[in-house]
């Protein structure tokens, strides 16, 4: 059955209702039931942005390394707090592998009557010690441009080539119970000391009531040393109402002080029922090329949820972008058994900026259920995304366990590291572990290694574990970062931001 799209008034009322219910512990609604995709036939596509934000607001097995050829350092808890930290971002300083910045949806302010904000955890000694911060302007903190916002999340992080760090996300207003969510904006702060202290934030894109709704940003900085070195780029989805869902890119050439914004997505193709764009991310090639990828969710002629991956590119530092094109037309979105938490198929891209044999190669990865269970797929392009190799299965398990939430990074030596959640170590296909798969041959083959030394039970917060985990690649080591639940018990929502060094 196909449902008609709701009116704008109906969407607002639906958003408020979802927020109020999800903020109440133990409540059960349609959104707290096992999620199969963000576009099931029983839900209108245009309900997605509100339900995603509301979920955020309210929101083992013995360890044996899989392959001894990859050395993994100790698991490091970046911040010790009983409130949740999920949706983990990570960046590494190109001047110093030991300077790592981890970010999350951080709920520590619940202890003082507030809610979720963007948290950052910084080390300059490879994880021996950590300093915890929040993006300035948080409730109860020093006054600033974000002080009138009650909520923050969707962490975005980057380092530029000079070692300046950037951190931000979305920030929005609403009532303490999650009602009247509005003015969803994107803001960014810069640190000039490796992430230990932070300057006043800048608003990159203002939200407007419930008619302009910015969502799911991702960020990168040009560290190539080329003509556009130091440029910072942010991509995201702008929900402007029914039928007005677009992918935007903002570019800054003055260290985040000012921004230019443009739309890079085109119209939804005819025949893609209830189609809409979401889940963009941006990466930079070795000559300053800017690549943006995103997905399109739609229903095919049999009302079956399907996904395409789109992309575009800029050769002039983000001043102009080519008309968008389909990079992958046949994605089977994942639908996990034993998973009440939201889990989706997102595209992630990274480019090889090394001086090695695969310099300039672009990699694209996503979770796919085309074989019946959720696997991590990756393909590559040597011509900027015009043509692609056949997809390679990244995970090397022999069974039907689920793998999801992939992120790809390319090291200065050209190694390709893909991090993901993996359920292979649990015969019941339920408990989560963090894995990294490494390729030394340009993405043709991968060696897998388990990184987490304890399994995580999603029942700690059964309905929300974030929407992604990331990995960043330095010279001597890569840093996967993930939301880990080993310190929690079912229902207490004690999710923690963890990382570990995976040595080159």
For residue 280, give the nearest of 303, 305, 246 by alpha carbon: 246
Domains of the chain: 8-59+69-503 (2.120.10.10)
User: For residue 178, what pLDDT is reported?
Assistant: 73
Q: What number is the average pLDDT over the span 433-460?
A: 98
Select from 319, 314, 494, 337 the least CA-distant residue to 400: 337
Instruction: Tell me what pLDDT residue 54 has.
Output: 52
Tell which residue, 379, 364, 346, has the closest CA to residue 283.
364
Query: What is the C-alpha separation between 325 and 384, in angstroms, rounded?
Result: 12
Structure tokens at 325: 């094109």
Reply yes or no on whether the pLDDT at 169 is more than 60.
Answer: yes
For residue 55, what pLDDT band results from cuts at 50, 70 and 90?
low
Residue 407 to residue 379: CA distance in whole angstroms: 13
Residue 57 has pLDDT above 60, yes or no: no
Given pLDDT bands bounded at 50, 70 and 90, which one contains residue 37?
A: very low
Instruction: Judge whether residue 355 has pLDDT over 50.
Output: yes
| Residue scoring higher pLDDT (38 or 448) | 448
pLDDT tens by residue, 284-301 = 999 999 999 999 999 988
- Classify residue 58 by its DSSP letter: T
Distance, in Å, from the CA atom of 40 to the CA atom of 239, rounded to the nearest integer, reads: 19
225, pLDDT greater than 90: yes
**Do residues 438 and 447 touch, judged by C-beta distance below 8 A?**
yes
pTM of the model: 0.89
Query: Mean pLDDT throughout 198-206?
Result: 98
């Amino acid at each position: 059955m196909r449902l008609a799209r709701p009116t704008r008034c109906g969407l607002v009322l639906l958003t408020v209702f979802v927020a109020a219910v999800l903020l109440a512990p133990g409540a059960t609604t349609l959104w707290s039931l096992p999620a199969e995709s963000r576009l099931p036939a029983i839900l209108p596509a245009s309900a997605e942005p509100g339900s995603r934000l509301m979920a955020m607001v309210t929101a083992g097995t013995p360890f044996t390394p899989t392959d001894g050829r990859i050395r993994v350092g100790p698991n490091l808890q970046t911040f010790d707090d009983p409130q949740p930290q999920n949706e983990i971002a990570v960046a590494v300083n190109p001047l110093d592998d030991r300077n790592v910045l981890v970010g999350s949806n951080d709920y520590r302010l619940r202890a003082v009557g507030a809610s979720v904000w963007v948290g950052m955890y910084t080390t300059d000694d490879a994880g021996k010690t950590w300093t915890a911060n929040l993006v300035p302007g948080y409730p109860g903190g020093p006054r600033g441009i974000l002080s009138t916002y009650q909520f923050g999340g969707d962490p975005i992080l980057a380092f530029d080539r000079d070692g300046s760090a950037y951190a931000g996300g979305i920030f929005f207003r609403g009532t303490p119970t999650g009602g009247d969510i509005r003015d969803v904006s994107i803001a960014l702060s810069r640190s000039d000391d490796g992430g230990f202290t932070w300057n006043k934030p800048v608003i990159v894109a203002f939200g407007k009531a419930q008619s302009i709704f910015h969502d799911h940003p991702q960020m990168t900085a040009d560290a190539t040393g080329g003509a556009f070195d130091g440029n910072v780029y942010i991509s995201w989805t702008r929900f402007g109402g029914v039928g007005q869902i677009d992918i935007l890119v903002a570019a800054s050439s003055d260290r985040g002080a000012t921004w230019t914004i443009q739309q890079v997505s085109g119209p939804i193709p005819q025949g893609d029922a209830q189609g809409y764009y979401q889940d963009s991310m941006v990466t930079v090639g070795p000559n300053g090329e800017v690549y943006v990828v995103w997905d399109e969710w739609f229903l095919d002629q049999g009302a079956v949820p399907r996904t395409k991956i789109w992309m575009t590119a800029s050769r002039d530092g983000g001043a102009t972008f080519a008309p968008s094109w389909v990079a992958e037309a046949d994605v089977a979105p994942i639908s996990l058994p034993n998973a009440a938490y939201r889990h989706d198929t997102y595209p992630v891209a990274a480019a090889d900026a090394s001086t090695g044999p695969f310099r300039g190669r672009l990699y694209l990865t996503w979770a796919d259920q085309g074989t019946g269970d959720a696997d991590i797929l990756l393909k590559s392009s040597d011509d900027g995304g015009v043509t692609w190799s056949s997809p390679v299965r990244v995970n090397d398990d022999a069974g039907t366990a689920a793998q999801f939430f992939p992120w790809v990074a390319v090291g200065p030596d050209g190694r390709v590291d893909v991090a993901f959640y993996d359920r292979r170590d649990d015969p019941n296909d339920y408990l989560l572990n963090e894995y990294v798969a490494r390729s030394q041959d340009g993405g043709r083959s991968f060696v897998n290694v388990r990184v987490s030394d304890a399994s995580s039970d999603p029942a700690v917060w059964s309905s929300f574990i974030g929407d992604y985990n990331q990995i960043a690649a330095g010279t001597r080591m890569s840093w996967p970062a993930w939301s880990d639940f080993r310190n929690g018990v079912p229902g207490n929502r004690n999710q923690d931001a963890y990382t570990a060094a995976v040595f080159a």
